[in-house]
Amino acid sequence: MNKKVDYIIVGQGIAGSILALTLLKKGKSVIVIDDAKLNTASKIAAGLYNPVVFKRLVKSWLADNLLPYMNEFYPEMEKLLGAEFYFSKRILKPFAEEQEKVLWLKKTEEGIGKYLNETIYTGDLNGIVFNPLGISEVLHAGNLDTISFLNSCKEYLKKKNLFIEEQFDYSQISMTKNSVSYKDISADKIIFCEGYKATENPFLKWLPFKLTKGETLTIKLTHDCAIPFRIVLNKAVFILPIGNDLYKVGATYEWEDLSEKITEKGKSELIDKLQKVLKVPFEIINHQAGVRPTVNDRRPLIGLHPEHPQLAVFNGMGTKGVMLAPFFANQFANFLETATPLDKEVDIARFYS
């Protein structure tokens, strides 16, 4: 049976899910195609959102625009999908050296100050954390429980008959001047949201991805103690409480080995860093790896294919899919429907040559 929709979306990671929900919200029709077997970044991400880049202690790119947008988007989606997945959290940062603390206090008086608590806490969080130099706190941070979000989104799409679970077969695309079809579904456009797998898409091989693999651990504290659910610790690694006395720990950054396989190297790097933060013993429950769709110039890849405008891409969310995707999905939907220009920094037209 032939079916006609406005958009076929390939990929139901954070990017594809958020774009599909955004287009539906604007009254458009979509079909989402996803290969559930793949081990993806969205499934293993901690889902943290943090307006501060710790390395240089600067504001994260567009934080002032992205945060207000996502603070409306995710709660609205929690209502629509009937699930809880968006949590505000205190990101606590134990200082590693004295200069770090001096810089922090200086920065509280600058533009980034609204995201930095100026109080320095002493104490060791009920005997859990090494904290000789004090801890401070990032304000307006939190996390998306990506598994709960992706699962509830998939259920919602399935109920509405808008979801196909299969590996997308690029050889089944056929194009006319103004439309495109995939098998028996025709659409105005196909929007590719395949994360790092876009590097295997014959239409997108020219995009300058510079992929980054990441590994995470799930641990249990074996001492009789707990880090409260609303707190994330961050010192070289993040430690995120995920409930049931479990914590997600990560992440590594690797640019050479881009397989989805876990490694001993990744595991020992994380254990080593954990032992410098935690005073208490822990048990490793799980170990995962995924590949981030990072880009040469660290900006998303959004827009139309230069030769086939029936094909589009919404990708390149890099290390910050949770913050970037809602704002840019809205911008992209407006671009597709009303030709409102895309931000030049994210438009793939910057690579057309």
Ligand X SMILES: Cc1cc2nc3c(=O)[nH]c(=O)nc-3n(C[C@H](O)[C@H](O)[C@H](O)COP(=O)(O)OP(=O)(O)OC[C@H]3O[C@@H](n4cnc5c(N)ncnc54)[C@H](O)[C@@H]3O)c2cc1C
Q: Which stretches of the chain bind ligand X, using CB under 6 A?
A: 10-16, 33-35, 38, 40-42, 44-48, 167-168, 193-197, 214, 216, 250-251, 290, 292-293, 315, 317-323
As measured in angstroms, the least distance from the Cβ of 315 to ligand X is: 5
Q: Which is nearer to ligand X, 35 or 155 (CB)?
A: 35
Encoded tokens for 117: 């608590």
Residue 234 sits at φ, ψ, to 5 deg, of -140, 110
As measured in angstroms, the least distance from the Cβ of 214 to ligand X is: 3
Please tell me the distance from the alpha carbon of residue 206 to that of residue 294, in angstroms, as a whole number.
14
Say if CB 6 and CB 187 are below 8 A apart: yes
Q: Which is nearer to ligand X, 108 or 199 (CB)?
A: 199
Q: Which is nearer to ligand X, 145 or 188 (CB)?
A: 145
Cβ neighbours for 73, distance < 8 A, ≥ 6 positions apart? 18, 326, 330
As measured in angstroms, the least distance from the Cβ of 106 to ligand X is: 27
As measured in angstroms, the least distance from the Cβ of 204 to ligand X is: 11
Return the closest-CA partner of residue 51 out of 91, 13, 104: 91
Return the closest-CA partner of residue 292 out of 233, 180, 216, 185: 216
**From residue 297, how far is each of 174, 208, 294, 302, 348 by CA, in Å?**
32, 9, 9, 13, 11
As measured in angstroms, the least distance from the Cβ of 223 to ligand X is: 26
Please tell me the distance from the alpha carbon of residue 21 to that of residue 80, in angstroms, as a whole number.
10
Q: Which is nearer to ligand X, 46 or 219 (CB)?
A: 46
Q: Which is nearer to ligand X, 94 or 142 (CB)?
A: 142
As measured in angstroms, the least distance from the Cβ of 49 to ligand X is: 6
As measured in angstroms, the least distance from the Cβ of 279 to ligand X is: 24
Determine which helix (DSSP H) or strand (DSSP E) holds 44, and give its type and residue range: helix 41-44
Residue 273 sits at φ, ψ, to 5 deg, of -70, -40
